[in-house]
Copies of this chain bind each other. A is one copy, B any other.
Amino acid sequence: MGYVMKVSIPRKTIYRLSVYHHCLGQLTPDAGGRISSDALARVAGVKPTQLRKDLAHFGHLGKRGLGYEVETLREKLAEVLGTSKLQPVILIGAGNLGSALLRYQGFAREGFEIVAAFDSDPEKRRKCNNGVVVYDLDELPRIIRETGARMAILSVPSEVAQQVTNTLVQSGIKAILNFAPIILQVPPNVMVNNVNLAVELENLSYFVQ
């Protein structure tokens, strides 16, 4: 019944943890099933000391002189990130981008299952995309309750994004991956990650000049 000191892990570290987790699959361990911080850091695109410091937040995961055991590390990372068990996710907005995300295999590979989709357009609801049923927005509270989903992917037009977000928050969603190019207003206990494709391109544009 030990205390766990609540030392908050830097957000950037958490972000890189995901990257490390991915990269573990991309390289071959040595004979003992181990890998060095140098090797992993190279594929992850970071410095070895940073990798070690990041991992050190979660205990003595490596063995000095030997490196990190790949399987143990993979499990630990999944545990920390909360992807060791399948996470139910809902998707709102089955339009152009939304339906592509529904078919995207990368989510499933990392332990996420899109359990339901939503769209206001009856046309979009007709065909259930990739085996996922597309519901009306009215059904949001009910389905969230029934599936126990706490994460949502938001790919609706900007004009309705805030309004839909309010419903999501009221229904108990705790994390939103937002593709709409606006800053969502949410209570402090709800987390939002923004993916703004136009901003990413615009950013590159600066460096091309």
Contacts and interface: CB of A to CB of B under 8 A. Distances in A.
A202 to B, nearest CB: 4
A205 B106 contact: no
Given A82-B205, A175-B207, A26 B182 contact: yes
A22 interface: yes
Given A26-B182, A181-B22, A181-B106, A14 B206 contact: yes
A183 B183 CA distance: 28
Contact of A44 (B21, B112, B183, B198): B183
A109 B200 contact: no
A204 B191 contact: yes
Interface string A28-63: 000000000000000111000000000000000000
Interface of A: 14-15, 17-19, 21-23, 26, 43-45, 80-83, 87, 89, 96-97, 99-101, 103-104, 106-107, 109-112, 150-151, 153, 174-177, 181-183, 191, 193, 195-209
16 contacts: A14-B203, A19-B199, A22-B196, A81-B203, A82-B205, A82-B206, A83-B202, A87-B208, A89-B201, A96-B103, A104-B197, A107-B201, A175-B204, A177-B200, A193-B204, A195-B197
| The 4 nearest A-B residue pairs measured at CB | A100-B100, A45-B183, A175-B204, A18-B202
